[in-house]
Structure 1
Amino acid sequence: MPEGDTVWRAARGLHTALAGAELTRTDFRVPRFATTDLSGRSVEEVVSRGKHLLIRVAPGPGEGEGWSIHSHLKMEGLWHVYGRGERWRRPAFKARAVLETADKQAVGFELGILRVFPRSGEEEAVGYLGPDLLGPDWDAAEALRRLASVPERPLGLALLDQRNLAGIGNVYRCELCFLAGIHPLTPIQDVPDLERIVDLSKRLLEANKARSRRITTGLAGRDPLWVYNREKRGCLRCGTKVVHELVGDTELELRDLYYCPHCQPALG
């Protein structure tokens, strides 16, 4: 499941492959951008912003500003880098973007969002995001302020809101609540040490950003997670049956929530 660490690694791999190279061909396989052609322009950099990815392309002749290729992996998306002529490891019909240079192909498969716009459009696309846990602009105090601004909101919902702090997905929100010993439906105003949770969020993503497998337990073997997706195996710490619920701000935003009722008792 792509979260901030996954997107950070994807951006790093794409930057290594594309930065400084001229695009010889671009193929955007979504109707709105099907005729957009950025060939002849060079890639300046690839960066992540929370769970969003931005490929920044230099302006062409006579263009006043550069371009941004904006993608979001959602649940199934991923980017692959291939040598020219190398066989793709995913079916071609799942490709949504193909960027070619003289010796590389970057292919985005099953991208949940794919847009191409002038660089000035980045503010509208990602400007609403809170401080990026893996970004150079990380601001713990601002993240804490945003979380605390709606004191009655449950912690488990506030952590998923990318307007508060950018990069936490469903796995991390469940594991963070467990590590803090907090029931995920506890209102923010009743969380005893919110600053510690913000700090732990940063440390967890930093620890995992270069790993191919996400680990919150310190155990790289069979049990890398404490409660997430463990409703049939029990809490890794105490063995209590893990509760699995669907929780969201609205019916359309329901997400899987896992917690241990023993290690994370509800208030009252």
Structure 2
Amino acid sequence: MPEGDTVFHTAATLRQALVGKTLTRCDIRVPRYATVDLTGDVVDEVLSRGKHLFIRVGSKDGGASIHSHLKMDGSWRIGPGRVEPHRIRIVLGTADGLATGIDLGVLEVLERAHDQDVVAHLGPDLLGQDWDPRRAAANLSADPDRALAEALLDQRVMAGVGNVYANELCFVFGRRPTARVGTVPDPLRLVQRARDMLWLNRSRTNRCTTGDTRRGQQVWVYGRSAQPCRRCGTSIEMDRSGDRISFWCPNCQAP
């Protein structure tokens, strides 16, 4: 599932493949931008902001920015590969490579000079230069009656946490996903741990929150419904009734 660490890693991969190179192909398969052709322009920069990706092309003043968001199922692929044509949203080619955007939840072409306007509402980026744990903790604590997982998933609080990390953080801090934010004794410590989790996973293919990278041992509760808790052995419970699926240990995590 794409989260802030996945997007950070994707940006690094795209950066290596595209930056400094001239586009020899630009095929955008979104009706609104189907006539946009950036062929001949040089890719100048690739950056991530939370779960958002920006591929900046051309000059800083007059250039364009390809903005994408992976949502639940999106990805970028470097090099050739077999993909059903209806899943492809964009193809960017250079003299020696190919980058393909697949099942992207958001894809648009913006004026480069103003591309960051679309992410101005986001909180501090857990993997960005603007990371500020005290501001993130203040954002988290602003509504003490809000459900903890819901607050963690709010990108206006801090940018980058997705459902996997929200569930894992709730377990690590001994609170159920539905517990109130106000029950967390040290919000600053929580947001710092969130940053540590994403930072340690920013270059990994297989995400790990337990510190044990062996297959099947990487997460505490996410995706482990009915399996024994790694701490106490109680069966992990699951709830699919909300917008996001939740996992928790009924013994280790307080309501």
Corresponding position of 2:64? 67
TM-score, length of structure 1 as denominator length: 0.91
TM-score, length of structure 2 as denominator length: 0.95
Corresponding position of 2:239? 245
* Paired positions, count: 254
Corresponding position of 1:5? 5
**Structure 1 residue 64: deviation in Å?**
4.2
**Structure 1 residue 127: deviation in Å?**
1.1
Q: Do the aligned partners of 1:243 and 1:260 also contact (CA within 8 Å) in 2?
A: yes
**Structure 1 residue 120: deviation in Å?**
3.4
Query: Any idea what the Cα deviations from partners look like across 1:105-164, whole Å, max 9, x if unmatched?
Result: 110111111010102342331111111101111111111111111121111110000011
Q: Do the aligned partners of 1:243 and 1:259 also contact (CA within 8 Å) in 2?
A: yes
Distance in 2 (CA, whole Å) between partners of 1:246 and 1:146 is 27
Equivalent position amino acid for 2:9 in 1: R
Secondary structure at 1:97's aligned position in 2?
strand
Check if 1:80 corresponds to 2:77: yes
Check if 1:264 corresponds to 2:253: yes
Unaligned runs of 5+ in 2: none
Corresponding position of 1:226? 220
Q: Do the aligned partners of 2:171 and 2:220 also contact (CA within 8 Å) in 1?
A: yes
Check if 1:255 corresponds to 2:244: yes
**Structure 1 residue 73: deviation in Å?**
0.7
Check if 1:175 corresponds to 2:168: yes
Corresponding position of 2:34? 34
**Structure 1 residue 96: deviation in Å?**
0.5
Query: Any idea what the Cα deviations from partners look like across 1:168-208, whole Å, max 9, x if unmatched?
Result: 00000000110111222222222111111011000000111
Q: Do the aligned partners of 1:78 and 1:109 also contact (CA within 8 Å) in 2?
A: yes
Distance in 2 (CA, whole Å) between partners of 1:5 and 1:64 is 30
Corresponding position of 1:165? 158
Equivalent position amino acid for 1:220 in 2: T
Secondary structure at 1:69's aligned position in 2?
strand
The more displaced of 185-194 and 153-162 is: 185-194
Secondary structure at 1:54's aligned position in 2?
strand
Task: Kindly report the root-mean-square deviation, in angstroms, between the aligned alpha carbons of the 2 structures.
Answer: 1.4
Corresponding position of 1:23? 23
Distance in 2 (CA, whole Å) between partners of 1:186 and 1:91 is 42
Distance in 1 (CA, whole Å) between partners of 2:209 and 2:61 is 46
**Structure 1 residue 93: deviation in Å?**
2.6
Distance in 2 (CA, whole Å) between partners of 1:78 and 1:30 is 16
Change over 3 Å in CA distance of 1:247–1:151 after alignment to 2: farther
Change over 3 Å in CA distance of 1:225–1:64 after alignment to 2: closer
